[in-house]
Chains A and B, each alone.
Chain A
Amino acid sequence: MSTETAEVKKSEALLSKRRKGIITDPLDDNNPVTVQVLGICSALAVTSKLEPTLVMSISVMFVVVFSNLIISLLRNAIPQRIRIIVQLGIVASLVIIVDQVLKAYLYDVSKIVGVYVGLIITNCIVMGRLEAFAMGNKPYDSILDGFGSSFGYAWVILVVAFFRELLGNGTLFDFQVMPDAFPKVGLMTSPVGAFIIIGLLIWVQRWRNGYVEAE
């Protein structure tokens, strides 16, 4: 018992500076989508409307946080050689839960989001965070890291979806916001619009941060 109290004294605050860093870092400087180039497939595919995008962000958040937690709890028990299969197994089980819940309660959205929910399994953000963080850190830190990364992912895809829905359909969350005379840009509802919007978003973000990629 005495050692336990000593450990409690040594432990850091619930939201110490380092832990705040774990959450805020992926929002901007180390953003999973625009800086680390992870999870692009779903970022582009589900962003034609705001509603499916929001559902997708919440699903990814659920999967990242819980898989980070589980892997972090198991990290000392997983043999190095088969870790990828173990990680994929846990992620796939969590994704099955998400898929079944969506089918049960949000059937319309789940039809739009379609196979991209299944593709959360191969979303590089999930695998990347497991490999890079959860395999070597304590459970609580891993949860925070999961939240940080998925917020970083969420704001980027929500911004992309905002512009695509506004310019492509003149609506937001299916409410008409633009006047009827507004010329709808059909390109924005197609894949091409997503590529160009995300390219411009990266341009703006890097210009603001003063980051230039080395050749």
Chain B
Amino acid sequence: MDLINLGIKSIFIENMIFAYFLGMCSYLAVSKKVSTAMGLGLAVTFVLTLTVPINWAINEYVLKEGALAWIGPQFANVDLTFLQFIMFIAVIASFVQLVEMIVEKVSPALYGSLGIFLPLIAVNCSILGASFFMVPKDYTTPVEPIVYGFSSGIGWLLAIIALAAIREKMKYSNVPGPLKGLGITFIITGLMGLAFMSFMGISL
């Protein structure tokens, strides 16, 4: 039950886009068509589901203050927290590279359609952000970070698909010239954020 609670919370209440503004660059750039938005959303979800637990394990067993105690008592006071940034981004960047190579070998068709989005994921701040948010939450089992990563990804996917769908319909509306494109997209995102604020205060 706790895990379901955690999932619902990270999809709706603590939505990556509407509550924390993470991953905005690709959210705005790749949301012109539902199909491409879907592809990127799924890729982000996949990478999040795997990198958050990996980073959790690294933080738990190597970086956290006193985490190295399993080697021997003389390491019990080592605090490598300042290395968090570089370790997390190294995991994400190498993981994205790995996924890219595997997809290229296993399924060239999928690679062709995802092509440019894959390297983009390395600099999608929602991935790094989820790893940072995971740290103060103090998860104790590896299941929680997996659920957290997966449902954050689903929340991001939901947001980008909703925006892409609205933008496809926007073609038929008469928006003032200078507001077209980016400007109106920001305002739509603001209104969507307003709608998502209504999820606040829900607890399961």
Contact = CB atoms under 8 A, between A and B. Distances in A.
Interface of A: 34, 37-42, 44-45, 84-85, 88-89, 92-93, 95-96, 99-100, 115, 118-119, 121-124, 127, 190-196, 198-200, 202-204, 206-207, 210-213, 215
Contacts of A95: 85
A118 B132 contact: yes
B128 A119 contact: yes
A199 B24 contact: no
Nearest to A85: B93
B21 A89 contact: no
B169 to A, nearest CB: 13
Nearest to A81: B97
A41 B187 contact: no
B119 interface: yes
| A45, A93, A119, A198: residue with the most chain B Cβ atoms closer than 10 Å | A119
A207 B184 CA distance: 13
Contacts of A42: 21
10 contacts: A34-B182, A45-B20, A121-B89, A121-B128, A122-B127, A127-B123, A199-B184, A199-B185, A202-B179, A206-B179
A104 to B, nearest CB: 12
Interface of B: 18-25, 28-29, 82-86, 89-90, 93-94, 97, 119, 122-125, 127-129, 132-133, 171, 176-187, 189-191, 193-194, 197
Please give me the 6 A-B residue pairs with the lowest Cβ-Cβ distance, nearest first. Answer: A213-B181, A195-B190, A199-B186, A206-B178, A40-B24, A207-B178
Q: Binding site of A, secondary structure by majority: helix, strand, loop or mixed? A: helix
B90 A89 contact: yes
Q: Binding site of B, secondary structure by majority: helix, strand, loop or mixed? A: helix
A202 B183 CA distance: 5
Contacts of B194: 192
A100 B85 CA distance: 11
Contacts of A115: 129, 132-133
Contacts, number: 137
| A123, A194, A195, A212: residue with the most chain B Cβ atoms closer than 10 Å | A195
Contact of B97 (A45, A85, A89, A195): A85
A212 B90 CA distance: 39
B129 A203 contact: no
Nearest to B18: A191
A96 B82 contact: yes
A88 B93 CA distance: 8
| B123, B127, B187: residue with the most chain A Cβ atoms closer than 10 Å | B123
Contacts of B187: 195-196, 199-200
Contacts of B133: 115
A48 to B, nearest CB: 11
Contacts of A196: 186-187, 190
Nearest to B191: A192
A93 B85 CA distance: 8
Contact of B182 (A41, A100, A122, A213): A213
Given A41-B23, A191-B18, A212 B180 contact: yes
A212 B182 CA distance: 10
Contacts of B124: 122
Contacts of A202: 179, 182-183, 186
Contacts of B190: 191-196, 199
Nearest to A210: B178
Nearest to B32: A215
B21 A41 contact: yes
A37 B31 CA distance: 13
Given A85-B94, A127-B123, A203 B132 contact: no
Given A34-B182, A202-B183, A191 B132 contact: no
